[in-house]
Structure 1
Amino acid sequence: MPKVAVIGVGQSAFVRGYPGSIRELAFEAYAEAMADAGAQNSDIGATVICSSPEYDKQRSPAGVIAEYCGLNPQPTFYVETLCSSSSTGLKLAYSLVASGLHDSVMVLGFQKMSEISSAESQERMGRGADIQFESPFGTMMPAYYAMHAKAYLDHFGASEEDLARIRVKAATYGQINAKAVYRKGVELEQCLTADPVSKPLKVFDCCANADGSSCVIVASEERAKAMGIKKPVWILGIGAASMPINMSCRDKFHGLEVAEQAAKQAYAMAGLGPKDINVAEVHDCFTIAEMMAYENLGFAEPGQGPELIRAKETYKEGSIPVNVDGGLLSKGHPIGATGGSQVRTIVLQLRDQAGDMQVKDPQFGLVHNIGGVGLYGNVTIFGR
């Protein structure tokens, strides 16, 4: 398989109410990634635009964004897999480059969730479930993940305090991430006494909607050399899976099988295992999602995830640093931009450019990005 490199990354600040249009929002990440790669528009062979369309007032936003960024007449594609849209877009970009169809591709993810009200947003999130058999009954994301939390706590004997520790960690690093929505620390007791959202999940167990954009530029090895890229980060393994949308068709609730399947594929392709990973970004839309990810990715045995966070092994100085940019819990979760933001963090880590969030000398990094309630799963492994 030909080698494919990440040559440029960018991200807007994630905010609660972006004042401009989606094209202006997308341009912020585009401009940063182009400057990072030292690229011109003529260097980009194709674009992959990623978002969740139920939040977009603009139909076919890919066309509008490609035009605004000056990326015509190159082909543009539109990808949607709910919250994992831009990591799915990365898989498409990798395939386009590895196949030789293009020698460089840009993946641009965005979401302006503030264009609709919170109530409308929750209703649209509910439509990520089956609209015939589940969402008409009022199911929403906090309730779905609360089912997973209840199952996990009951099955393994973990506690709500273990989940709260994950949020304390997220807030620790959110404070030093200039791109994050929430930059305040929280105490364990604050998390445990916060108002319930959907038991056992409380306010601090849940991420928040945000507006934001992310951009990742990939290129062939030859193209990266021709552009003089000094610190390419290589895509070593990509795994992707899906599960039945109806929760009644799932075999278990104390983990996400979609993540397990995607991780197996990514590790096999990269020729690596969980112990080789030096830093990871996981999809922590809720604290329970990060807890399950520890185990689904093989960082801990089933039921041993709480031991990792209790011992602070997932902090920056630990054996497997996870979400040391604050994760979704502190950064916010602009759905179409989330996966690309995770990739950006890992790329900066592998280049030793992560500033105060930098992990010591990482060689391999991993991104775990989930769409819906374990409906889609993407795991991508990167190396220096």
Structure 2
Amino acid sequence: MTQFENASNRSVVDLAAVAAERALEDGDYSRAEVSSVHVANALSEALGTQAGVANALTSTLGVEGVRADRVENTSASGASAVHRGVEAVASGQSNVALVVGVEKMSVGETADVTDSIRQLVHPREYEQGLTLPSFAGVAAHAYLDRYDAPREALAAVAAKNHRNALYNPVAQFQKRISIEDALESPVIADPLRLYDCCPMTDGAAAVVISRDEGVRVTSIGSATGTHAVAARPDPLAIESVRLAGERTFDQADLGPDDVDVACIHDAFTVLELLELEELGFYEPGTAWEATLDGKTKLDGELPVNPGGGLKARGHPLGATGISQLIELVWQLRGDLPDRRQVPDVDVGFAINVAGFGNNSVCTLLES
């Protein structure tokens, strides 16, 4: 990975190249061994920075002649690109797949970036001015009301993930916050406040996929959901998350109880709770209690977002899904210092979500 930060002085292609070179070095692969390149990117064209990112990257890396493509699935672009790379290797179309995710969100004005992201919602909802924070605010209010959960439960997610990022050198925010800090931060979409929402981020992440020994992709699955959030019968049911999770666990003949560490798509704090429940880690309406009880902390029964999650590690859309898997690889290999390392990790799980559940991609890794 590169450093995830508010504003990088590197271009989109340069960010991608740095992450790609680090991944190749980590796996002890030469550029000549790469047979396909899959680049996840959501906003470069919309923000006017770079078209044809995958083609530009192959030239920068000096790997012309390989198969290359760009994968766009909004905020789940990273995991979708990994899915593409896994399929390329599994089918024999590629021997060594280099998967890179990159985003440079600082190039646009905040309003322009927000509008670009907002366009992923249903056109009718876009015309009404609805945004992802709007949907998250509605869901958070419904969750707190339905399960009689305290507002502190959402703040506890933010405090936990900031605490985890404190020792992650590539995280955007290495700053401890308390539950009180989160509760007192400015309102964004009531009841959500500033510390309930992920930031805009510049950064890149990359992995190499091959048949060689190493951390294994046990299974990967994805699913779409009802595009118009208002058309969903239950504001707390995220169909794509449930389906993608079921498919991924079924392929691996594993279940939530087999997972030792999880990276959950916490673009908003309420999503961490909803996804944990949809995926079967906790019964509906109980993830908030588990969070307040410390069960999702680094030393809890199911450590969640040990690298800080989207909330504190940062959320460069195209790179996020890949950064989740990198965190799992580090955990599975035991690469991390004691204060960051989850002990006895054999199975890692990640979910990367597009929009507010328009599409979800789940991945299981094993050491």
TM-score after normalising by structure 1: 0.93
Counterparts of residues 366-381 of structure 1 (less than 5 Å): 366-381=349-364
Match of 1:241 among 210, 217, 223: 223
Residues 1:83 and 2:88 are matched in the alignment:
no
Match of 1:17 among 7, 32, 48: 7
Query: For 2:199 and 2:97, how far apart are their aligned partners in 1?
Result: 30
Residue 343 of structure 2 aligns with which residue? 360
Residue 201 of structure 1 aligns with which residue? 192
Residue 279 of structure 2 aligns with which residue? 297
Residue 274 of structure 1 aligns with which residue? 256
The answer (yes or no) to whether the contact 1:239–1:266 under 8 Å persists in 2 is yes
The answer (yes or no) to whether the contact 1:345–1:354 under 8 Å persists in 2 is no
Match of 2:22 among 15, 32, 37: 32
Displacement after TM superposition at 1:300 (Å): 0.5
Query: For 1:138 and 1:126, how far apart are their aligned partners in 2?
Result: 9
Match of 1:47 among 24, 37, 46: 37
Counterparts of residues 64-83 of structure 1 (less than 5 Å): 64-83=56-75
Displacement after TM superposition at 1:205 (Å): 0.4
Displacement after TM superposition at 1:187 (Å): 1.1
- Structure 2 counterpart SS, 1:134: helix
Query: For 2:331 and 2:47, how far apart are their aligned partners in 1?
Result: 31
Residues 1:103 and 2:95 are matched in the alignment:
yes
Residue 301 of structure 2 aligns with which residue? 319
Q: What CA deviation, in whole Å up to 9, does each residue of 1:56-109 have, x standing for no partner?
A: 521121111121112211010110100110100111111111111111211100
Residue 314 of structure 2 aligns with which residue? 332
Q: How many residues align?
A: 364
Residue 255 of structure 1 aligns with which residue? 237
Query: For 1:307 and 1:237, how far apart are their aligned partners in 2?
Result: 30
Displacement after TM superposition at 1:55 (Å): 3.5
The answer (yes or no) to whether the contact 1:83–1:372 under 8 Å persists in 2 is yes
Query: For 1:381 and 1:128, how far apart are their aligned partners in 2?
Result: 27
The residue type paired with residue 361 of structure 1 is: D
Displacement after TM superposition at 1:320 (Å): 0.5
The answer (yes or no) to whether the contact 1:370–1:376 under 8 Å persists in 2 is yes
Match of 2:148 among 157, 163, 168: 157
The residue type paired with residue 344 of structure 2 is: D
Query: For 1:87 and 1:171, how far apart are their aligned partners in 2?
Result: 23
Match of 1:140 among 117, 131, 139: 131
The answer (yes or no) to whether the contact 2:165–2:312 under 8 Å persists in 1 is yes
Displacement after TM superposition at 1:177 (Å): 0.6
- Structure 2 counterpart SS, 1:333: coil
Q: What CA deviation, in whole Å up to 9, does each residue of 1:32-55 have, x standing for no partner?
A: 101100110111110001110324
The residue type paired with residue 296 of structure 1 is: E
Segments of structure 1 that go 5 or more residues without pairing to the other structure are 1-10
TM-score after normalising by structure 2: 0.97
Q: What CA deviation, in whole Å up to 9, does each residue of 1:91-142 have, x standing for no partner?
A: 11111111111112111000000110111111111101123x1112221221
Residue 175 of structure 1 aligns with which residue? 166
Residues 1:217 and 2:200 are matched in the alignment:
no
The residue type paired with residue 69 of structure 1 is: L
* Percent of residue pairs bearing the same amino acid type: 29
Q: What CA deviation, in whole Å up to 9, does each residue of 1:265-308 have, x standing for no partner?
A: 00001110000000010100110011112111211101111121
Q: What CA deviation, in whole Å up to 9, does each residue of 1:232-268 have, x standing for no partner?
A: 0111111100012111221221132211110000000
The answer (yes or no) to whether the contact 1:110–1:214 under 8 Å persists in 2 is yes
Query: For 1:255 and 1:157, how far apart are their aligned partners in 2?
Result: 17
The residue type paired with residue 289 of structure 2 is: E
Q: What CA deviation, in whole Å up to 9, does each residue of 1:203-224 have, x standing for no partner?
A: 110110000000011002xxx1
- Structure 1 counterpart SS, 2:296: coil
Query: For 1:364 and 1:331, how far apart are their aligned partners in 2?
Result: 21
The residue type paired with residue 264 of structure 2 is: V
Greater Cα shift, 342-351 or 293-302 = 293-302
Greater Cα shift, 21-30 or 55-64 = 55-64
Q: Runs of at least 4 residues of structure 1 off by over 3 A?
A: none
Residue 4 of structure 1 aligns with which residue? none
The answer (yes or no) to whether the contact 1:56–1:112 under 8 Å persists in 2 is no
Segments of structure 2 that go 5 or more residues without pairing to the other structure are none
Residue 107 of structure 2 aligns with which residue? 115
Query: For 2:236 and 2:226, how far apart are their aligned partners in 1?
Result: 16
Displacement after TM superposition at 1:199 (Å): 0.3
Query: For 1:378 and 1:20, how far apart are their aligned partners in 2?
Result: 29
